[in-house]
Amino acid sequence: MHRRTVPVPDAPQGPVMSRACARLFAVCVLGAVAVAGCEAPLDLDAVERSRQATIRRSDVFQAAVAAGSVVVVVGSGGLILRSADRGRTWRRTELEGLPYLIDAGACGADLFAALSYEGDVWVSRDQGATWSRKSLQTEEQPQAIHCDPKGKLWVVGSLSTIWNSADRGETWNSSSLGEDVILTEVQFLDGDLGYISGEFGTVLKTENGGGNWERLPPLPEEFYPQDMRFLDREQGWVAGLAGVILRTSDGGQNWRPEPTGTLAALYGLETFSGTLFAVGAEGTILRLDGTRWHVVDHGQPIRFYLRGMRALDGQSLLVLGPSGTLKIFPAGVLLQEGRQSTGARDRG
């Protein structure tokens, strides 16, 4: 490996150096030697411990999925974290080629799927223990993956592209609206009814299992949704930058903003214990009470953004993000008002 060297300025020479300059130069040299001698040696044991850690500060977690007691978290560098006990303990795997994993989905407990930005879907048929690569065979960039109640996998991405697989990722069908639009999220409520959101305020709806997609009226001001969550045929939300959350009560025909009390960018929505939550920048967690969102004082020193979350059961919620951020909050911490919370379980 070529090592770049930094040139050191020449010392003053011969008769041009005065006695005062000579003294000053000697002091500087001795000081540099003293500093070098006092420098702490590199702790190789600490480096090795960090390298062997299950969760590391360099980890960038992107998404999580849960089925029963099994939880799978995906992230950059081909990272897969798997827990068989609802996040109490974790096992680390790094997929071959270190793909950038950006989303995950599950078809019950039988099939887990992880989506890579490179255009592959990694599937596991043994509850996340081992993974195999299935290519979308596309030059477009996928953004999100979802498994519908019939067990069909769906992926959406750039150039308004929609992929689906009815055979657990072995083969894929693709279609496109033919527009230069990035589709960011897909969700099916049952085997027939599904929604897709995307940039320029795009909202699509299907009522025949994805056989065709109807374009709904766009979100106000071409809002760019970071996440979407429908609870039923009528009630849905999208979240995005500057703390904006929009709500529809008529199946996506009309949308209105809801007060959030924050300007933090919001990246994820999740239902937990019958309540809708949102997460975003600066460790922000929001809880919806009626038609108003409240900032949850969770009591944890989360400096960076939270990318997503996943309800593990009716009792705990996992939140995740960069710098190895992986925390599990019990229901009592997030649902109670006015408490000083210290109840999160850090990193499983």
pTM for this entry: 0.83
Residue 44: is its pLDDT beyond 60? no
* Residue whose structure tokens are 């980890």: 59
The rounded percent of the chain whose pLDDT value lies above 90 is 74
- The pair of structure tokens assigned to 183 is 């589709």
Residue 21's pLDDT is 44
User: Rounded mean pLDDT of the chain?
Assistant: 86
15-29: buried (b, 16+ CB within 10 Å) or exposed (e) per residue?
eeeeeeeeeeeeeee
Nearby residues of 155 by Cβ (< 8 Å), 6 or more positions away: 115, 121, 136, 142, 144, 145, 146, 162, 163, 164, 172, 186
Residue 257's pLDDT is 97
* Residue whose structure tokens are 């223990």: 129
φ, ψ of residue 305 in degrees (nearest 5): -75, 155
Residue 253's pLDDT is 98
pLDDT band at 26 (very low <50, low <70, confident <90, very high): very low
Contact 308, 314 (CB under 8 A): no
pLDDT band at 332 (very low <50, low <70, confident <90, very high): confident
Residue 25's pLDDT is 43
Over range 79-100, report the average pLDDT: 97
pLDDT band at 4 (very low <50, low <70, confident <90, very high): very low
**Helix, strand, coil proportions of the chain in percent (round to 5)?**
15, 40, 50
Residue 46's pLDDT is 46
Over range 29-56, report the average pLDDT: 55
Please state, in angstroms and rounded to a whole number, the distance separating the CA atoms of residues 269 and 281: 13
The residue among 49 and 88 whose pLDDT is bigger is 88
Residue 299: is its pLDDT beyond 90? no
pLDDT band at 95 (very low <50, low <70, confident <90, very high): very high
Over range 279-307, report the average pLDDT: 93
For 202-226, what is each residue's pLDDT tens digit? 999 999 999 999 999 999 999 999 9
Residue 204's pLDDT is 98
DSSP code, position 335: H
Residue 48's pLDDT is 44
Q: What does each C-alpha distance from 278 to 36, 259, 319, 324, 345 come to in angstroms?
A: 50, 13, 10, 20, 19
Please state, in angstroms and rounded to a whole number, the distance separating the CA atoms of residues 220 and 59: 35
Residue 229: is its pLDDT beyond 70? yes
Contact 193, 235 (CB under 8 A): no
Over range 245-254, report the average pLDDT: 98
Residue 92: is its pLDDT beyond 90? yes
The residue among 162 and 43 whose pLDDT is bigger is 162
Residue 147: is its pLDDT beyond 50? yes
Residue 39's pLDDT is 54
DSSP-derived secondary structure for 27-74: HHHHHHHHHHHHSPPP-HHHHHHHHH-SS-TT--EEEEEEETTEEEEE
Residue 71: is its pLDDT beyond 50? yes
Domains of the chain in sequence order:
231-335 (2.40.128)
pLDDT band at 336 (very low <50, low <70, confident <90, very high): confident
